[in-house]
Amino acid sequence: MGRYLLFSGWAKDREVLDIACGNGYGTHLLSRVAKRVTGVDLNIPLVEFARRHNAAPNIRYLDQDLLDLPKGERY
């Protein structure tokens, strides 16, 4: 949680990529100040949990490997 609080000031009004977002708790914290947040994690059950319990209009969760994200796309 500390890292999310630390970076929440930096994330203000920005588009943020949260790598290894887990259950989405931190992603949701960042969404309160960020323009848009994309949470990425390999653990499909955790991403499904995040989608159900830590959703917001400016959050998108992806259940995939960071190395497999398409290059050139904005997240």
User: What region does 20 belong to: left with phi over 0, alpha with psi -120 to 50, or beta?
Assistant: left
**What pLDDT score was predicted for residue 42?**
96
The secondary structure of residue 43, as a DSSP letter, is -
Q: Is the pLDDT of residue 4 over 70?
A: yes
Q: How far are the Cα atoms of 3, 23, 53 from residue 74, in angstroms, in the given order?
A: 23, 22, 24
pLDDT in tens, 16-71: 999 999 999 999 999 999 999 999 999 999 999 999 999 999 999 999 988 888 78
**What pLDDT score was predicted for residue 59?**
98
Q: Is the pLDDT of residue 1 over 90?
A: no
Structure token digits, residue 15 = 């588009």
pTM of the model: 0.87
